[in-house]
Structure 1
Amino acid sequence: MQATLPAEATRIAPGLFRLRMALPFPPSHVNCWLLRDGEGWLVVDAGAKTEGAQQLWEETFASVLEGRPITRVLITHFHYDHVGLAGWMCERWQAPLLMSRTEYLLARLLLAEDSANLTAQMLHHGRTAGAPESYLHHLTRRRPLYRSEVTPLPPHYQRLVAGETLVVDGRPWQIRVGRGHAPEMVCLYSAEQGVLIGADQILPRISPYIGVVSWEPDGDPLAAFLASNQTFRDLPRDTLVLPSHGEPFTGLLERIDALDAHHAERLDTLTKALTVPMTAYEAARVLFPRVVEDSQIGFVIGEGLAHLNRLVATGVLLREDGADGLPRYRRAPEAALPHNPA
């Protein structure tokens, strides 16, 4: 007799299930997907390495798989709420790992990196941004980064390339890549079914986190994100989007419009505020005035820097070192305020 389907598992369509896995941090859950694949199943994202997560997967295996194995494990990007249990799952089922090259190598690099080095890098990033001492102290007290949150990955993988086709259960899925939230995040589109597995690129209710990372402090992920989103505009308006966070939705083009407008408004807000020099942290608090938890300050700094670096790249802001050696940002004298229609 087939086991009872866990409450967290939902049938989206024949041969397509969602597993909604709880997270102990915002945005509270991550969606993983199971696709029937011939005599087995393809998993898209393995979820976080959290208490009870493996047990939930085992319950799902017992109820959803109909006695068939997991034959492939596809991970959309390197963030630990997606890749956390990938190594365990690949070993559990002796299944190959599918990822884009950048995401796989970045995950392997972070797993191999000494935790003390990662912490030191984060501390430098925070100090340069002008972060408060409480946040810097928090960084030294939390558990080792990444390695404690991700099971060891297989030493080899199958590369996914944008524009190529992944055949699942005899049906073609176009491999698309989203950027900005992660450098080479895999999305899958089935024209036959009218379905886009959108990962974290286009979410229904919240804007994906777009942040500058400590190892690329001058990066411009917001430019990458906004440009990447435009590559999805060729999809039909009624495409069903399966996001990594939130509920499946339609209205893809309207959602892209909303994300464009959201970031235009944030850029406008910063431009208007920076009539006086501010550190990255001070400027980020203009965008996130209510965030007080030290565990969230890193995200505040990262997202703030993404918008600051975009404005520096377009000549709207100047970045100059202050007397204390910390970079500060201010509006360029010749910069015109952007027009942000209501």
Structure 2
Amino acid sequence: MSPSSAPLDHPFDAPPAPGELIQIAPGLLWARFALPFRLDHVNVYFLQTDDGWLIVDTGIDNSETREAWRTMLSGAMRGERIAGLIVTHHHPDHIGLAGWLCETLNIPLLTSRTGFLSTTTFFNSPELLAASAYSDFFISHGMSDELAALVSVQGHQYMRMLSKPPFTYRRLSAGDRLQAGARHFDILSGDGHCPEQLMFYAAEDNILLAADQVIEKISPNISVMAFEPDGNPLGDFIGSLQRLIRDIPEDALVLAGHRLPFVGLHQRCRELIAHHGYRCDQIRDEAAMRPVSAADLLPVMFPQTLSPHEMSFAFSEVLAHMNSLAADGELVWQIDTAGHRRLAAP
């Protein structure tokens, strides 16, 4: 079974209730917004600056989340000036309401170039998500035609939960510094879960806003996308975790995009590395017996019943492990005359 370690330290044993805020430190607040998925929430943070508060992430765009924001702004944040919106990455649970919030509050969007351009593309060209390349991609890895059609359309509805993004943004890049009042954050970037995902580290307070790169108890999704079928996001993710171990102290307070704040960064990074190592071992064991497709491996790695939304993430995560093993030369791709791909021992 997948490896586990000792429990992490959780300075806050419960999240904020809907519409409420918890003070993490002076000038740093934590809120939580609901999501309509198995992972049923996203964490949002507020950073105080000399000009007002910076919001960090937004939740998806739906009527319930817009109303939750109205409640927050007229309740716990009533009378407070909002100076801007930071978005850590382009997944809709983090950037979905960026356009609406920026327009409603007349504030700028601060994010990575990848985050801005990806969101603009997905919003303005939603037909890309239903392109035949997606279903062909799933079919080539062993999925039935019927299931591929379902997953490539319904499985990507999540990526449409976006308000119209702003036309302009302010770029944040790894290596920059963000000043929030007396607090300075070094800007970091991690890949694997999402390209150029932003993180923020305040050395004076030893606080890391980790977005979805490091989360307690759950592993962020690591997916191969149809538009980059030979990508190695798992290799990128492991490299990002190793840099966090190298650059950020073990006892930093980690504020992630989901679940609870925790202390024990290096332990959690090593747990995630071990988790993916275990997943790769599963594939090695199966491929030692016969060439295997992603469809063959899906019930091995994800034996639970999956919705189309969950199926698209699970299938793409299986591929991330397969591509990593192929990139390392441990296993090789076999492609038949019909274009179906299987991984086999060399």
Shared fold by TM > 0.5? yes
Alpha-carbon distance change, 329 to 48 in structure 1, aligned in 2, over 3 angstroms: same
Aligned to 1:299: 313
Q: Please identify, of 159-168 and 275-284, the stretch whose mean Cα deviation from structure 2 is larger.
A: 275-284
Identity across matched positions, percent: 35
How far residue 231 of structure 1 moved from its aligned partner, in angstroms, is: 1.3
Q: Please identify, of 298-307 and 275-284, the stretch whose mean Cα deviation from structure 2 is larger.
A: 275-284
Matches within 5 A, 1:263-302: 263-275=276-288, 276-302=290-316
Gaps of 5+ in 2: 1-16
Aligned to 1:337: none
Aligned to 2:255: 242
2:189 is the counterpart of 1:162: no
How far residue 111 of structure 1 moved from its aligned partner, in angstroms, is: 1.5
Matches within 5 A, 1:257-268: 257-268=270-281
Q: Pick the aligned partner of 2:73 from 54, 61, 64.
A: 61
**TM, length-normalised to structure 2:** 0.89
Aligned to 1:226: 238
How far residue 69 of structure 1 moved from its aligned partner, in angstroms, is: 2.1
Aligned to 1:336: none
Alpha-carbon distance change, 274 to 126 in structure 1, aligned in 2, over 3 angstroms: same
Separation in 2, partners of 1:327, 1:206: 29
2:223 is the counterpart of 1:201: no
Code of the residue aligned with 1:246 in structure 2: it is: R
Question: Aligned to 2:263, what secondary structure does the other structure show?
Answer: coil
Q: Pick the aligned partner of 2:330 from 316, 326, 330.
A: 316
Question: Aligned to 2:119, what secondary structure does the other structure show?
Answer: helix
Aligned to 1:16: 28
Question: Aligned to 1:81, what secondary structure does the other structure show?
Answer: helix
Aligned to 1:112: 124
Separation in 2, partners of 1:310, 1:115: 29
Separation in 1, partners of 2:313, 2:160: 19
Alpha-carbon distance change, 207 to 140 in structure 1, aligned in 2, over 3 angstroms: closer
RMSD of the TM alignment (CA)?
1.9
Matches within 5 A, 1:31-70: 31-70=43-82
Higher relative contact order (CA 8 A, sep 6+): 2
Q: Please identify, of 132-141 and 60-69, the stretch whose mean Cα deviation from structure 2 is larger.
A: 132-141
Note the alpha carbon deviations across 1:66-125, whole angstroms, 9 max, x for none. Answer: 512211100000001110000000001111100111121111111122426634332122
2:193 is the counterpart of 1:210: no
Gaps of 5+ in 1: 333-342
Code of the residue aligned with 1:195 in structure 2: it is: I
Does the CA contact (< 8 Å) of 1:128 and 1:326 recur in 2? yes
Code of the residue aligned with 1:291 in structure 2: it is: T
Code of the residue aligned with 2:166 in structure 1: it is: P
Note the alpha carbon deviations across 1:10-50, whole angstroms, 9 max, x for none. Answer: 33222222121111113111101111222411000011113
Does the CA contact (< 8 Å) of 1:78 and 1:106 recur in 2? yes
Question: Aligned to 2:201, what secondary structure does the other structure show?
Answer: strand
2:339 is the counterpart of 1:325: yes
Question: Aligned to 2:319, what secondary structure does the other structure show?
Answer: helix
Code of the residue aligned with 1:273 in structure 2: it is: E
Does the CA contact (< 8 Å) of 1:180 and 1:210 recur in 2? yes
How far residue 237 of structure 1 moved from its aligned partner, in angstroms, is: 1.8
Alpha-carbon distance change, 185 to 194 in structure 1, aligned in 2, over 3 angstroms: same
Q: Pick the aligned partner of 1:171 from 176, 183, 186.
A: 183
Code of the residue aligned with 1:112 in structure 2: it is: N
2:41 is the counterpart of 1:29: yes
Does the CA contact (< 8 Å) of 1:8 and 1:21 recur in 2? no
Does the CA contact (< 8 Å) of 1:23 and 1:50 recur in 2? no
Q: Pick the aligned partner of 1:127 from 113, 134, 139.
A: 139
Separation in 2, partners of 1:238, 1:147: 35
How far residue 146 of structure 1 moved from its aligned partner, in angstroms, is: 6.0
Question: Aligned to 1:35, what secondary structure does the other structure show?
Answer: strand
2:95 is the counterpart of 1:96: no
Alpha-carbon distance change, 119 to 23 in structure 1, aligned in 2, over 3 angstroms: farther
How far residue 133 of structure 1 moved from its aligned partner, in angstroms, is: 4.2
Separation in 2, partners of 1:114, 1:55: 25
Question: Aligned to 1:115, what secondary structure does the other structure show?
Answer: helix
Does the CA contact (< 8 Å) of 1:97 and 1:154 recur in 2? yes
Alpha-carbon distance change, 51 to 158 in structure 1, aligned in 2, over 3 angstroms: same
Alpha-carbon distance change, 254 to 114 in structure 1, aligned in 2, over 3 angstroms: closer
**TM, length-normalised to structure 1:** 0.90
Separation in 2, partners of 1:114, 1:272: 39
Code of the residue aligned with 2:228 in structure 1: it is: E
Separation in 2, partners of 1:253, 1:297: 30
Code of the residue aligned with 1:64 in structure 2: it is: A
Alpha-carbon distance change, 117 to 161 in structure 1, aligned in 2, over 3 angstroms: closer
Separation in 2, partners of 1:206, 1:215: 26
What is the number of residues matched between the two proteins? 328
How far residue 291 of structure 1 moved from its aligned partner, in angstroms, is: 3.4
